[in-house]
Amino acid sequence: MQNKLPLYLFLSLLLLLILATAALYMGVYEFEKHSFFEIFKALINDDNSISESDKFVLMDLRLPRIVMAILIGSALSVSGTCLQGMFKNPLASPDLIGITSGAILLGAITIVLGTHIKPYIPEVFHFSLLSIAAFLGALLTMTIVYRISTSNGKTNVVVMLLSGVAVTAMAFSTTGFLIYLSKEEELRDLTFWNLGSLGGATWTKNAILAVVIVVAFSFLITKGKALNAMMLGERDAQHLGIPVEKIKKRIIILTALLVGTCVAFSGNIGFVGLIVPYILRLIFKSNYHIILPMSAVFGSILLLTADTISRTIAAPSEIPIGILTAFMGAPIFIAILIRSKKSM
C-alpha cells in the first residue's frame, strides 16, 4: 500500500489538472478563441491577435481564482488532517473546533479598526495586516482549545467540540456587533468574510498563499508516520523516537498559519478540513502516511469543483462557496457522529 503512494498522487494530480483546465472554460464569459492553446500562444508571443477582454478574463479573473481554489483547498484540508492526527479524532477540523472563528474574530476587528491606518500603507501590507490578525486569532483559539480539551495526551472530544461552539458564538456575536458599527465598505468586507468566497482572488494574494503553503507543507506533509505512531498514545510514540511535543507545537503553529491566511483571503469556507480526510479514510483507512499527502491534492480537487459549481450553477449570479461546502460537510459531520457515538 505504501509503495503505491506516488501512483495515487500522480493520478489525483492528473485529475486536478483536467478539472482545472475544464474550469477555465466554465463561466458566463465565452472566449472568442475556443482553444486555450491559441490564447496562451498569443499571450507568450505578446501579439495582438487576442482581444483585451479575453486576456483580462483569463489572466486576471479565471486563472487567479482557479489557482486560489487549488491553494486554499489544499491548505484547509491538510490543516484538517493534521489536527485530526494531533487530537486523534476525525471530528477535529479547523471550523468545528473554532479555529476559523477565532481567525474571523480578530480579522473582523482588524477590518473595522484597521481602516484608519490602511490609507497610509502599501497594498501588500493590507493583506499582511489582515493575515497576521487572522493568524493570531487562529493560534490563540487553537492553544486555548487544545489546553482546555486535552490532558495527559488524551482529548475529551465533547469538550473539544463545545469549546469550538463557544468560540464560534463569540466570533458570531462580535461580527454581528461590528456590522452595526461599520461603514458601508467595511460592511461589504465583513459579509464577504462570513460567507466565504474566492471572488477576491489576485496574483498578489496567491503569491502570499503559495509562500505560506510551501513553508507549512515542507514540514507537515512528511509527518504521516509520526501521526500514525501518535495513535498508539504519546508515550509509545516517544518510544519509537517520535519527538511528540515538538511535532505538536509545530502543527499548532503551522495549521494556525494556514487557516489564518486562508480566512484572511477567502473568508469562512467551512468543512473542507472535515470532508476530505473523511473520504480518504474510507479508502485508505487512517494511514496518515498516505492520507496526509493525498489530502493536499484532494482538498484542491474539492474546492476547485465547489467553486466552479458556485459560479456556474446560478449564472450570472454567484452563490457563496461556503454554502456548497457546508452542504456536503454537514451530512459527513452527522455520519462521523453516528459512527463514533460509542467512543465519545
Name the grid cell of 36.
486555450
Among 142, 281, 328, 332, binds another protein (CB under 8 A): 281
Task: Tell me: does residue 229 bind another protein (CB under 8 A).
Answer: yes
The interface region with another protein, picked from 113-121, 264-272, 278-286, 319-327 by CB under 8 A, is: 278-286
Task: Tell me: does residue 215 bind another protein (CB under 8 A).
Answer: no
Task: Tell me: does residue 245 bind another protein (CB under 8 A).
Answer: no
Q: To 5 degrees, how large is the angle CA 106–CA 108–CA 110?
A: 70
Task: Tell me: does residue 283 bind another protein (CB under 8 A).
Answer: no
**Distance separating alpha carbons of residues 196 and 31, to the nearest angstrom:** 27
Task: Tell me: does residue 238 bind another protein (CB under 8 A).
Answer: yes
**Distance separating alpha carbons of residues 50 and 41, to the nearest angstrom:** 10
**Comparison of 97 and 242: residue with beta carbon closer to another protein:** 242
Closest CA to 54 of 37, 33, 27: 33
Among 239, 315, 331, 335, binds another protein (CB under 8 A): 239
**Comparison of 234 and 318: residue with beta carbon closer to another protein:** 234
Smallest gap from Cβ 289 to another protein, in A, equals 8
Smallest gap from Cβ 87 to another protein, in A, equals 12
Question: How far is residue 281 CA from its own chain's centroid?
Answer: 19
**Distance separating alpha carbons of residues 336 and 344, to the nearest angstrom:** 11
Q: Per CB under 8 A, which of residues 69..108 are in contact with another protein?
A: 88
**Comparison of 62 and 281: residue with beta carbon closer to another protein:** 281
Q: Per CB under 8 A, which of residues 124..183 are in contact with another protein?
A: none
> Are 75 and 258 contacting, i.e. CB atoms less than 8 angstroms apart?
yes
What's 288's DSSP letter?
Answer: H
**Distance separating alpha carbons of residues 52 and 61, to the nearest angstrom:** 13
Among 117, 231, 314, 335, binds another protein (CB under 8 A): 231
Name the grid cell of 108.
473582523
Among 60, 123, 185, 236, binds another protein (CB under 8 A): 236
Burial tier of 170 (Cβ tally within 10 Å: 0-12, 13-18, 19+): middle
Task: Tell me: does residue 240 bind another protein (CB under 8 A).
Answer: yes
Task: Tell me: does residue 344 bind another protein (CB under 8 A).
Answer: no
Closest CA to 75 of 298, 252, 287: 298
**Comparison of 119 and 241: residue with beta carbon closer to another protein:** 241
Tell whether omega for the bond before 119 is within 30 degrees of 0, i.e. cis: no
**Comparison of 89 and 110: residue with beta carbon closer to another protein:** 89
Contacts to another protein by CB under 8 A: 2-3, 88, 222, 225, 228-229, 231-233, 235-236, 238-243, 281, 285-287, 289, 343
